[in-house]
Structure 1
Amino acid sequence: MTDASLRYPGFYVVGRAIREHRMARDMSLRRLARLMGTSPSLLSSWETGERRIPAVPLGWALGLLEVPAAECHLLGRLHAESERASYVEGNDSGEISLQRAYDRYTLHTYEWAPKVVPDLLQTFGYAHALPGARPQPDDVDQEIFARRVRQVDRDSRHRHTLLLGSAALTLEGVPAEVVQAQLQEITSSPNRWQVDTRIVPADAAVSPTIESFVIYETAEKAFTVVLRHEHSTVYLSDLTTVRRYKSTFDALQRVAVAYDPATSC
């Protein structure tokens, strides 16, 4: 694995998408390479993220594999950003977030959520009860359903390490039984989401006031830090930033404790 691929996880995410669609169609590496007019070794280096696939071969691969148009567009956007160590995506563009590609094609998510259970893991009851939830129940239900689809899209090997701040257990206006049911669903063992959830106490040595963040890890140990703000989402892959956020997460994890419904809420 080259230094470039470790620095730019987008190389790997796009390559893995090609590989998974190829395997889903039961197509050999040699056959796809032949159809694309390239060598199996070069195609393999694109799939493993050792090299960045050029835009034209990417289009050929996605077309030959009959990848749905929405995902083609998503992977095209990610490909365009894949040589940057950082980039910003507007949240009001009306397009599917690039974060969906990371959700689907990486193998480990590390998430710090100091105040509320992350969107992707929210139950229907919890989402409806949150302060500021959409007034139309159908809108909330449709959004939660879309999140469930994202969960199903994840690789079965994907692991999610979630650290919740204690404030997430005592949300104003959300009934204690709703919070308890939400936490029970994501902490039950075994659970279908493969989420390892722990709580960071308010009096922990590491300040629980640190803002929320997500770190995605690929099978090749390439990392992307994702910071979601009100109007934009920032993706950071430079090594200094990654090490800083991973160090923060490790410190939070050291003081985190298992969720105990008997003493919570």
Structure 2
Amino acid sequence: MTKPRSVPALLALSSSLRAARTGRELSLRKLADKLGVHAQTLSDWETGKRPPTIDEVAHLLGFLRLTPAERQRIMRLWHQLDSPTFIETLSPDTTSLQQKLDELAVRSWEWAPHTVPESLQTTEYSRAILRRDQTPPDDADVEFFLRQARQLDRKQPRQRTVLLSAAALAPAPESQLHAINTTSDCHQLKIMLAPMTTGTERRIEPFTVYETAGKTFTVALRHHDNVIFVNDRSLVQRYRSTFTALEQEAIGHADGA
């Protein structure tokens, strides 16, 4: 059986190939002609629909005459296509692969024990988070407007379930809870509140399980400036089971309230 490709690694590779081409001001058709491939083939490589072979990557990078460091980085991405784990280092000037997964996903399950997901945050909540983190006022204004822009650009997955702990609402409970109750009317989005009773939930770090086309599952784990993406089937199943257990507890709490 063929091992499933790492969706995040494929996204990183495809976007890097496109950036390498556009950085040299080459049109897709012109580069395809130079490489002796169909323009649609090159487009498939750059959109992640189909990865190139190692020989095709080497030929493309050789033609573009990339720096040794950039060439090595892209080759490493290719070699990670079959790896069950992919680590992304976040930077202010790049779009996270997690946002691209949000756009590609047909379904997602998210556990948010500490902070309401950015796409669901109210204005009051976002500003409260920035104050809590002691972000300098000028930086806070910039970050706030960047968050607003990301929310406008973000496409929600077809079906999304978000499980929040009560603690996550703390920075602005009234406005945020009202917004959640309003948003929950959307049939594509299901939001539930989990009680903080035994303290077990506090030890489960935030995670999101994404399902993309072809029933491919990826778990995203965010740690400070890194996001760890996991495609290993046994680990994915563990996270899906964990989410189900937390969801059942939330349902039981709601029924008994």
Q: CA contact under 8 A between 2:161 and 2:191: conserved in structure 1? A: yes
Q: Distance in 2 between matches of 1:190 and 1:86?
A: 33
Aligned AA (1:101): K
Q: CA RMSD in A?
A: 4.4
Q: CA contact under 8 A between 1:128 and 1:137: conserved in structure 2? A: no
Q: What pairs up with 1:194-233 in 2 under 5 angstroms? A: 194-203=188-197, 207-209=200-202, 210-233=204-227
Look up the match of 1:25.
none
- Give 1:179's match in structure 2, choosing from 176, 194, 201: 176
Look up the match of 2:102.
103
Q: CA contact under 8 A between 1:225 and 1:235: conserved in structure 2? A: yes
Over residues 64-112 of structure 1, what are the superposed CA-to-partner deviations in whole Å (9 max), with x where a residue is unaligned? xxxxxxxxxxxx6995443322132334x44423323323333323210
Percent identity of paired positions between Structure 1 and Structure 2: 32
- Give 2:241's match in structure 1, choosing from 220, 238, 247: 247
Give the number of the structure whose alpha-carbon radius of gyration is greater: 2
- Cα 1:230–1:159 change in 2 (3 A) is same
Aligned AA (2:107): H
- Cα 1:155–1:124 change in 2 (3 A) is closer
Q: CA deviation at 1:125?
A: 0.8
Aligned AA (2:111): W
Q: CA contact under 8 A between 1:11 and 1:49: conserved in structure 2? A: no
Between structures 1 and 2, the one with greater helix share: 2
- Cα 1:151–1:179 change in 2 (3 A) is closer
Q: What pairs up with 1:56-75 in 2 under 5 angstroms? A: none
Aligned AA (1:150): R
Q: Distance in 1 between matches of 2:60 and 2:190?
A: 35
Unaligned stretches of 5+ residues in structure 1:
18-31, 64-75
Per mean C-alpha deviation after superposition, the further-off stretch among 235-244 and 50-59 is 50-59
TM-score in terms of structure 2 length: 0.65
What is the number of residues matched between the two proteins? Answer: 228
Q: What pairs up with 1:113-128 in 2 under 5 angstroms? A: 113-128=112-127
Q: CA deviation at 1:58?
A: 7.8
Helix, strand or coil at the partner of 2:220: strand
- Cα 1:184–1:167 change in 2 (3 A) is same
Q: Distance in 2 between matches of 1:143 and 1:39?
A: 42
